[in-house]
Chain A
Amino acid sequence: MEQRWANTSRLTINEKQFIEEALRSEIRVDGRRLYDYRRLTIKFGRYRCLPRATILSCKCYHLRFSLFCCNCREDGSSEVQLGETHVMAFVTGQLLQPYRDRPNEGTLAIFTEFSPMADPSFEPGRPGEAAIELGRVIDRGLRESRAVDMESLCVVAGKSVWAIRVDLHIIDNGGNLIDAANIAALAALSTFRRPECSVGGDDNQEIIVHDPEVRDPIPLTIHHFPIAVTFAFFHEGNTLVIDPHYKEEAVSGVRMTVTVNSNGDVCAIQKAGGEGILSGDVMRCLRIASLKASEMTTKIKEAVETYNAEVALKKVKRHPSLIAQKITVPDVEMKEASFQKTKELSADMENSPNQTSTSLTTTKDKDTNASIGRPLNWDPYSSSAPAIVSSSTLPELVGTSKDANEDQMMQTDEEYDPNLKKDQIASATGVSSGIHKQNSPPKSLKDAVKPKHKRKKNAERGAR
């Protein structure tokens, strides 16, 4: 207990001298080499509660804005651990009025919270200098470099646009908060999905925000990944290290953060005060940073891909167990064969989206022959569903409502989509009404194939 009584956020003179001396021999506090990053772990979370009726409309003339409640959608949220540094990012979106000088662009705002749990010296209340600097550096890197596409967030120009808000919570300060927070923000933005909205209504001015179960939420368009790389300088600029530990930060006089992307563009450079650095050293830093940026970009993209794949797999795995309960087809052997097929297809879905189109054409012939063939009917959709499932259709399968009335409502509006959806819904949750409807018009299944391809293209365009 005794060591806690002292002010633990200051280093002793001995520690400072030790760190400086060790760096002369290129030895770091935690044993890394000078240009090594610490271990990076990216975790994602989806915190969602039960779906509610969420079709909201707002009349733009009256400037009444209805908030889409953030609890129901899946918020992009990520948790990044860079060595001992721990940062959480939450992304939420609201429909708001755009800025006067940019009427057809959405807005992106970054809020940083230096939580007192991260460091004993962080005070609650107003953000200090370091918090504001961090927020600004990440803001410049993400927003001003046009990494996130703002024009696609416009719903009605001049009246209503999506305002994306990124909340960064620093949970544990192990040094190099800017880099970790930047990665967290990028990861959260990559997995964030906003609900689809369309302009309609009587006067074509009403905005309808669709329920995530009815229409799939859309991911944000991110053009490039700006990665922040922080350098700390020691010994009057002679020694420089990457990803400083918090003890190294306390010792060094000078710090510089460079935000670059994997294309080699410099998005932002931040060097606030401290001793001067030779311009040659700055160029060296930029070169090192662009190498590190491409490594980091691949790591983030891999983590996002793995996460999306996991989510997709979870949804597809639900499918076989529920078929067993609901289907009462006399042809038992065919059912088992189709199980095998769907299992195999779901296993390779990630690898070969092209194969699915061929399997589609083969099973199409079977459709005309077997009118009962409900298990066979599963095949075209369940095999192609994974292909579509890059990101947009995922959420729909998870939170599908068991409301049969909704299915019927959907059928009156659009003919083809409900067949597709019902199949997916039935495959995910086994709604019996969907299955029965499936049975009656075998012809409409074939017709449903065409719009499905269109949907696939749209989904792919939206996802990439």
Chain B
Amino acid sequence: MEDRTDGRNANQLRPLGCSRTILNRAHGSARWSQGNTLVLAAVYGPKAGTKKGENPEKASFEVIWKPKTGQIGKQEREYEMILKRTLQSICLVNVHPNTTTSVIVQVVGDDGSLLPCAINASCAALVDAGIPMKHLAVSISCGLMEEGSIILDLTKSEEEKLKAFAYLVFPNSPLSVIDKVHSSKEEPIEHGIITSVSYGAMPVSGYFDCLERGRAASAAISEFLRRSLQKQSSDDASRASQ
């Protein structure tokens, strides 16, 4: 199965698209597309008060996942839970205690890698809303083929055919001001993996291969994210004055 159906090679991602500030009422909004998978995310917050059961000493997050058509089912609830935990770990929750930030995700097109796309979109929307964060989150899907090779950024048909695949979320690579030579001697600041959701059975070595490949790909995606966020930051200045 060397050729992927859309002609990409194993390490190629689909064309990425990101645009910020697309909605007027929402405090922050972003649209993220990976090929034909398109997700719209909006952020409202921080609003006063926390829900019952949440820790009032920290900021809490509420995620609402809206599918394209049909009723909300268990799959949507699972996505909401994963997204909430991911966002809680990247945001600074002690800055605004006893507040609730709502993130609403709307699926516009689904062609595989839906959860990674949604995580990327939510992260961009949080940036657009100005919620304080430790670092950004970049998400990628990796599939494990029978012969042990890894393919990135799965489409829907690939997800259905593969025996095992995983959605991985990494922190974005930091932009270092100091010299490259200098920094290579020390350990990178953030090396951990934030979230991993795996489907199907895969051998341990296969999983670690996925992690390695995913981390390498996340560098490319975080580069793209940084560029697209910086490009629109000039519009931010004019909005802040309003």
CB distance from A4 to the nearest CB of B (A): 6
A-side interface size class:
20 to 34
A311 to B213, CA, bound (A): 37
| Cβ-neighbour of A172 out of B26, B47, B69 (below 8 A) | B26
Nearest CB of chain B from residue A6's CB, rounded to whole Å: 8
A75 to chain B, nearest CB (A): 9
Number of A-B contacts (CB under 8 A): 84
Asked if B44 is an interface residue, CB under 8 A from chain A, the answer is: yes
How many residues of B are counted as interface, with CB atoms below 8 angstroms from the partner's CB atoms? Answer: 35
| Stretch of A110-118, A129-137, A256-264, A385-393 with 4 or more beta carbons under 8 angstroms from chain B | A110-118
Q: Are B64 and A47 in contact (CB under 8 A)?
A: no
Q: Is the CB of A172 within 8 A of B68?
A: no
Evaluate contact between A171 and B23: CB separation under 8 angstroms: yes
Neighbour of B64 across the interface among A50, A90, A116, CB < 8 A: A116
Chain A contacts for B24, CB-based, 8 A: 84, 86, 172, 174
State the majority secondary structure of interface residues on A.
Answer: loop
A119 to B102, CA, bound (A): 12
Q: In the complex, are the beta carbons of B40 and A49 less than 8 A apart?
A: no
> Is B25 on the interface with A (CB-CB < 8 A)?
yes
Given contacts A4-B46, A50-B5, A172-B23, contact A115 B108 (CB under 8 A): no
- Across the interface, which residues of A come within 8 angstroms of B156, CB to CB? 49, 71
Q: A117-B42, A117-B106 are in contact. Are A70 and B69 (CB under 8 A)?
A: yes
B: residues with CB less than 8 A from A are 5-6, 22-27, 29, 36, 38, 40, 42, 44-48, 64, 66, 68-69, 96, 102, 104, 106, 108-112, 130, 155-157
A-B pairs, top 6 by smallest CB distance, nearest first, are: A117-B42, A47-B109, A117-B104, A84-B24, A172-B23, A167-B69
Interface residues of A (CB under 8 A from B): 1, 4-5, 45, 47-50, 52, 70-71, 84, 86, 88, 90, 92, 111, 113, 115-120, 124, 165, 167, 169, 171-174
User: Beyond A115-B106, A117-B40, A172-B26: 18 further Cβ-contacts under 8 Å?
Assistant: A1-B96, A1-B130, A4-B27, A4-B45, A4-B46, A4-B47, A5-B47, A47-B109, A47-B110, A49-B112, A84-B25, A90-B68, A90-B69, A115-B66, A116-B102, A116-B104, A117-B29, A117-B106
